[in-house]
Structure 1
Amino acid sequence: MSVPPAPVAPRTGYSVLMPFTPARPEQILPFAALTQWSAAHRLWQGQSSVGDPHQTFAYAAASGFHVPVGTGVTVMPLRHPFEAALQAQSLAVAMGHPVVAGFGPGAGVFQRNMLGAPYRSQLGACREYVTAVRGLLDGEDVDLDGEFFRCRATLPSLPRPAIEIGLGVLRPGMARLAGEVADTAITWLTPAPYLRDVVVPAMREGAAAAGRPVPRLVAIVPVALDGPGRDPAALALAGNSGHMSMPHYADMLRRSGIDVDMKADPVASAKALIAGGGFLSGGPAEISAGLERYWEAGVDEIVLNVTGVHLTQGPRAALKELEEVLREVA
């Protein structure tokens, strides 16, 4: 049985990120409904220790909301490549729409806690993982005996929509690798100029070396509209302090010209993030102009992230925020 190839498409449009991890699967339904009934293209979820995104998406499908979805990203130490491919295929069958299955190695401390030690090579581990998952989803007899993963298996093919394999990308090395082996590069908290000047050229370099098309670029962008009593820095911290505290995110931000020091001065770090374009805040026209810079940088899909709004004002405010931004930009 032939397996449909993952398409490499031009600008997809605006998508939305679940702004919180559902503790109960029914909590995803208002956001699945927004995706189905609005101009939003796809619904995304990230990795969670509260609920598995594949199961939550499947619940939405069983409730009647069949929409394109993406995982941005699930972390490799939690799933063998065979399990990852099986979950992606099962999700595509359940949703009846294309799936972006995004993967990343996770933070070094998480790797140590799950595996006993970090991957010796982050890029090497990602290369092996994506190679195995791709082969399985393509219906191949995979025989991988690598440094990081071993997989000798074949995944039975099912009639299903296409599945794109994504890699979480922050820095040039992973961007080049995504150009070589992935269908999609997925970024988080990356300012538009950094994507234009660093990530996109590295992706093109990797794709050229591998003799393949340049992958799609997906940017998950934190946003918040102005409003009475709203402090942009507080919103930025509420939704992004965890990422800003991680060494690999701090390094990426420094490379983009944004100095963050969450231990010394979190508020100054949040203000620097806003000034550097890593967090978009303002009126509808300002948000729209900021998002336009992502299109100009070469992004193919923008994922609106209103986590800060949810954490400070709740899910209804977050849903309303997404509706207002989508009306302005989509």
Structure 2
Amino acid sequence: MTSRWGMTVPLEGVPLLDQRAIIERMADQGYTDLWSAEAAATDAFTPLALASVWAPGLRLGTAIVPAYTRGPATLAMSAATLAAAAPGRFALGIGTSSNIIVERWNAIPFTEPYKKVRDTVRFLREALSGARVEADYDTFSVQGFTLGAVPAQVPPILVAALRPGMLRLAGREADGAVVNWLSAEDVRTVVPYVHGQGEGKEVVARIFVAPGADPETARGIGRRAISAYLNVPVYRAFHEWLGREELAPMWRAWDAGDRKGALAAVPDRVVDELVVHGPAEYCRERVAAYVENGVTTPVLAPIGPPGEDPAEVVRALAPRD
């Protein structure tokens, strides 16, 4: 079993402030990490700031913060603040996010994503060290910024990566990669691109899980999630690169504007590959397969049916020796 075992926060189905008791117990249950996400619900930093107090023994990470939606200096300040609140326990995961989040929701052009992430990593390396940054990057310029509160321990920077270019960037210029929406078997394809650029790189994987759900229910939930995510251009390109030809009927239906047809076209086998479901012990075994294939930090992301008790899901998915 891996030495790390993470959970996505905030948990769904319970108000943020009421999650304290659940999060306080996680270290005793065997969890080592809490990782936040940022799309259309909470921001990435606030849940971790609360968790830094509620669970002082757990590592905290963002998976991920979009590189586009905060200015470079603001992103550096946010990261430095959390690093100061949780010394040695914070990792900053950044990435392109998607054209949906960046352009449609935040009115920011989604241009040159590879360069944007590369430039942001380079800027953060300088800024978080306390250096004065005076630089013209390909995608932005920073003139005379010096971080006023340099953290005693600079957080590692991870890059959200799907295909070879960004995976190599994560291994070459960052401290590792954050991967998402892939099967345990896909990990064997992805991880060598990261490690080929340097030894000792971390690979964080967000793994969608529906513990305890019967197959029909789990597959229904999984189909909705897959049709929502894997028709986004960056994820579609990822799965095309992986060779997941079984999704071609879904993509064709989606392109034709047939949303119901796209949903129905998601094969059970693809759901079973990308969403871990079944008894809790089986779910743990499948997560362990991700680790065996090269993931260093598995981060569970429950997507079970509405009404389930988040505390019970956390308890059921806790690691077992």
Q: TM-score, normalised by structure 2?
A: 0.85
Alignment of 1:269 with 2:262, yes or no, is: no
Cα deviation, 1:181-235, whole Å, max 9, x if unaligned, reads: 11120011111222212x2121133x2xxxx435210111111223468612123
- The residue identity in structure 1 corresponding to 2:232 is M
| Partner SS, residue 70 of structure 1 | strand
Q: Is this contact kept in 2: 1:274–1:281, CA < 8 A?
A: no
What's the counterpart of residue 177 of structure 1?
169
Q: How many residues align?
A: 306
Partner of 2:139: 148
Residues in 2 aligned to 1:31 and 1:74: alpha-carbon distance in whole angstroms: 24
Q: Check 1:28–1:147 CA distance in 2 against 1; reply closer, same or farther (3 A cut).
A: farther
Query: Is the deviation greater in 142-151 or in 221-230?
Result: 221-230
39-48 or 252-261, larger mean C-alpha shift: 252-261
For 2:134, the aligned partner's letter is D
Partner of 1:302: 298
**Pairwise CA RMSD of aligned residues?**
2.6
Take 1:247 and 1:240, find their aligned partners in 2: how far apart are those partners?
A: 13
Corresponding position of 1:314:
307
Aligned to 2:257: none
2:116 matched to which residue of 1? 125
Distance 1:251 1:30, change over 3 A: farther
Q: Secondary structure at the match of 2:185?
A: helix
Shift, 1:240, TM fit: 4.7
Match of 1:251 in 2: 237
Moved more, 237-246 or 173-182: 237-246
1:102-125 per-residue CA deviation (whole Å, 9 max, x = no partner) reads 111121244334455321x22111
Matches for 1:49-128 after TM superposition, within 5 Å? 49-62=40-53, 64-66=54-56, 67-113=58-104, 114=106, 116-119=108-111, 121-128=112-119
Residue 219 of structure 1 is aligned with which of 205, 213, 225? 205
Q: 2:238 is aligned with what amino acid?
A: M
Maintained 8 Å contact 1:19/1:305: no
Deviations 1:34-86 (A, max 9, x none): 43332111111101434323123223445x43232111001122111211111
- Aligned equivalents of 2:139, 2:211: Cα separation in 1: 44
- 1:324 equivalenced with 2:310 (yes/no): no
CA contact (8 A) 1:23 1:51 kept: no
Deviation of the 1:176 alpha carbon: 0.7
CA deviations on 1:13-49 (whole Å, 9 max, x unpaired) are 1100126569954144244224333211111110143
Distance 1:284 1:23 in 2: 21
Alpha-carbon spacing, 1:224–1:49, altered in 2? closer, same or farther (3 Å)? closer
Distance change in 2, residues 1:228/1:296 (3 Å)? closer
Show structure 2 runs of 5+ residues with no match: 255-260
C-alpha distance in 1 between matches for 2:81 and 2:90: 10
In structure 2, C-alpha distance between the alignment counterparts of 1:244 and 1:27, rounded to whole Å: 32
Q: Distance in 1 between matches of 2:59 and 2:46?
A: 15
C-alpha separation between the residues in 1 aligned to 2:263 and 2:10? 21
Identity %: 21
Partner of 2:5: 14
Structure 1: which 5+ runs fail to align?
1-10
SS in 2 for 1:220: strand
Going from structure 1 to structure 2, the CA distance change for 1:23 and 1:293 (only over 3 Å counts) comes to: closer
Query: Comparing 176-185 with 23-32, which one deviates more in the overlay?
Result: 23-32
User: In the alignment, which residue of structure 2 is the partner of 1:3?
Assistant: none
130-139 or 13-22: bigger deviation: 13-22
CA positional deviation for 1:293? 1.8
One-letter identity of the residue aligned with 1:271: D
TM-score with structure 1 setting the length = 0.82
For the structure 1 residues 247 and 229, does the alpha-carbon distance in structure 2 shift closer, same or farther, using more than 3 Å as the test? closer
Does the Cα contact within 8 Å between 2:128 and 2:154 map onto a contact in 1? no
1:168-207 superposed matches below 5 A: 168-197=160-189, 199-205=190-196, 207=197
